[in-house]
Amino acid sequence: MSFLFLFISAVLVNNFVLNRFLGICPFFGVSKKLDTALGMTFAVIFVMTIASIITWLIQYTILEPFDLAYLQTIVYILVIASLVQLVEMIIEKVSPVLYNNLGIFLPLITTNCAILGVALLNIQYNFSFFEMFVFSFGSAVGFGLALVLFSSIREKIELADVPYYFKGLPIAFITAGILALAFMGFTGLIKIG
C-alpha cells in the first residue's frame, strides 16, 4: 500500500477520534477554545510520532527477541509516561516559547489513550518502520483535524440558544455525533484492512 493512501486513510477514513474512539477525553476536555485545541494538537502530533517510533523499536529489538511480548502493555505505558516527562524537560530547555504554548498539555497526554492505541495498532498491523511512521503521524494529524474542527463548532455553540438540559456536554456529544456522521462520508474513499 502506498504511503499516501495510508496517510489519507489515517487522517480521514479511520479518523482516530470519530471512527476509532481513541483520545475522547482530550477531545471533549480541551475543545472549548480554538487556541487550546491548537496547542493540544501540536503536542499530540509531537508526542505520538516519537512515542510510536520508540515503542516500535522496543518491540522489535527487546520484547520479541527475548520473548517478552506479554509485557507489552506495562512497558508501553511506562515508556509513554517517561517520554512525556522527558519531552517536557527538553522543550523547556531548548525552546521556552514552545514550552509556554504546549506546557499544560504535555502531562495530560500520558492518559490520552490515542498514544497507547497507536503504539499497539502499529504492532497489530505488522507495519514496517516507514509505514509505522506515516500511520502514526497521519493519526495524530487526524486527531488534530477533528479537534480543531470540533472546537471551532463548540465556540459557535456557546453563543447559540441551547435548551437548558442540553447545555454543556450533552450538546457537545450530539455535535460530535453529527461531525462523525460527516466523516463517514469518507468511508468509501479508501479501503484499509
Partner 1 sequence: MKYRIFVKGLWENNAVFKQVLGMCPVLAVTTSAINGIAMGVASTVVLVCSNMVVSLIKNIIPSKVRIPTYIVVIAAFVTIIDLLMNAYFHDIHKVLGLFVPLIVVNCMILGRAESFASKNNLSNSIMDGLGVGIGFTMALFLLGSIREILGNGSIFNFYILSENFEPAVIMILPPGAFITLGFLLFLVNYIDDIGKHKE
Residue 28 in grid coordinates: 471533549
State which residue, 22 or 87, has the beta carbon closest to partner 1. Answer: 22
- In terms of Cα–Cα distance, which of 2, 40, 6, 27 is closest to 122? 6
Nearest distance from C-beta of residue 150 to partner 1, angstroms? 11
Among 2, 65, 70, 188, binds partner 1 (CB under 8 A): 70
**77 makes contact with partner 1 (CB under 8 A):** yes
State which residue, 100 or 152, has the beta carbon closest to partner 1. Answer: 152
State which residue, 2 or 67, has the beta carbon closest to partner 1. Answer: 67
The stretch near partner 1 (CB under 8 A) out of 39-47, 49-57, 77-85, 98-106 is: 77-85
Among 6, 23, 106, 135, binds partner 1 (CB under 8 A): 23
The stretch near partner 1 (CB under 8 A) out of 37-45, 128-136, 153-161, 174-182 is: 174-182
**149 makes contact with partner 1 (CB under 8 A):** no
Q: Would you give the distance in Å from CA 94 to the centre of its chain?
A: 24
**73 makes contact with partner 1 (CB under 8 A):** yes
Asked if residue 108 lies in contact with residue 26, where contact means CB atoms within 8 angstroms, the answer is: yes
Nearest distance from C-beta of residue 84 to partner 1, angstroms? 11
**98 makes contact with partner 1 (CB under 8 A):** no
SS3 for the chain is CCHHHHHHHHHHHCCCCCCCCCCHHHHHHCCCCHHHHHHHHHHHHHHHHHHHHHHHHHHHHHHCCCCCHHHHHHHHHHHHHHHHHHHHHHHHHHCHHHHHHHCCHHHHHCCCHHHHHHHHHHHHCCCCHHHHHHHHHHHHHHHHHHHHHHHHHHHHHHHCCCCHHHCCHHHHHHHHHHHHHHHHHHCCCCCCC
Among 71, 90, 189, 192, binds partner 1 (CB under 8 A): 71
Binding site for partner 1 (CB under 8 A): 18-25, 28, 70-74, 77-78, 81, 110-113, 116-117, 120-121, 124, 165-166, 169-174, 176-178, 180-181, 184
